[in-house]
Amino acid sequence: MKTYTQHGQKRFDQVKPDSINDNTKETIGVYNGRMDGQNVPVASIDNTKFIPCDVTSNSTSDLYAFAWTGQTQDYYFIRRWQDLEETADGIHKPLIYFNLQSDDWSSGWNNLTEIDSTFAGFILNLNSQSGTLNGCFDINFRHGVDIRQPLADVVTIGIDWWTRWGLFCNDVLIAESGRVYPRLESLSIPFSISVGTQPIKLELKWQTVNMNPDPTFGVTGTIFSKLEIYGASIWACNTKR
């Protein structure tokens, strides 16, 4: 770790009692975090840093959301999950059955807010202050396959299909999951960016590849392919300078 000395030291220099400990104090301060983003010592902590935080609920009938505002950090959270998750079988019931064969979707990035009305407000809006924005997004979903038996052998259709998820900050991709091939998956993808004093919009989007099967397999009729979403959440921490 780089440290920033306050006084240069040269061989045979006379030691000054009033500054002999300055470099040691500053080095300890660096390790204790007493430096801001420009490597300048921050103000010392006083009683104004320990006042109670403000908590604001932004929940709706479909979303659980809150904002926690402190002196040095602000926390923001939004969540859309199965309402019945506290029951024995609730966690096995997806929120959305999205038919990739018949419903409208794009080969590029798709807005999660557009595929179901209950996700219409699933956007984390906040006013950040200059510093950093850290957090993660969680998504629990399944992109399944179809199984047919047109001939003597069973044919599995869709093993090469994949889905990936991305988090966009003001329409700029800042974190993504990479390709996830057919299975039930629960992902937690972290992110960390520098921000200024500005409005921030965090939005979760998805992209998928879902191709028709090779006709040589002898498969006919409508192919079954659904994207099931069980829940999603976004949380962020704005650490202020």
pLDDT for the residue 1: 43
Inter-residue contact 98 to 226 (CB < 8 Å): yes
- pLDDT of 169 reads 94
pLDDT in tens, the chain (241 residues): 454 555 566 676 666 656 667 767 766 766 666 665 555 556 655 566 667 778 888 888 778 899 998 888 899 999 988 765 555 555 567 787 777 776 777 778 988 877 777 788 889 999 999 989 999 999 988 887 666 655 566 666 667 788 889 999 999 999 999 888 887 788 999 999 999 999 999 999 988 877 665 555 555 666 667 788 888 999 999 988 7
Residue extents of the structural domains in the chain: 1-44, 51-240
Cα–Cα distance between 211 and 140 in angstroms, integer?
A: 23
- The answer to whether the CB of 162 falls within 8 A of the CB of 209 is yes
Question: What is the DSSP annotation of the chain?
Answer: -----SS---TTPPPPTTTTTHHHHHHHHHHTT---TTS-PPPPP-GGGGSPPEEEE---SS-EEEEEE-SSEEEEEEEEE-TTTTSTTGGGS-SEEEETTTS---SS-EEGGGS-GGGTT-EEEEEE-SEEEEEEEEEEEEE--EEE-SSSS-EEE-TT-EEEEEEEETTEEEEE---B-SSEEEEEEEEEEEE-SEEEEEEEEEEEE-PPPPGGG---SPPP-EEEEEEEEEEEEEEE-
pLDDT at 16: 62
pLDDT value at residue 110: 87
Determine the pLDDT at residue 233.
Answer: 93
Residue pair 205/111 in contact by the 8 Å Cβ criterion: yes
Q: What is the pTM of this model?
A: 0.70
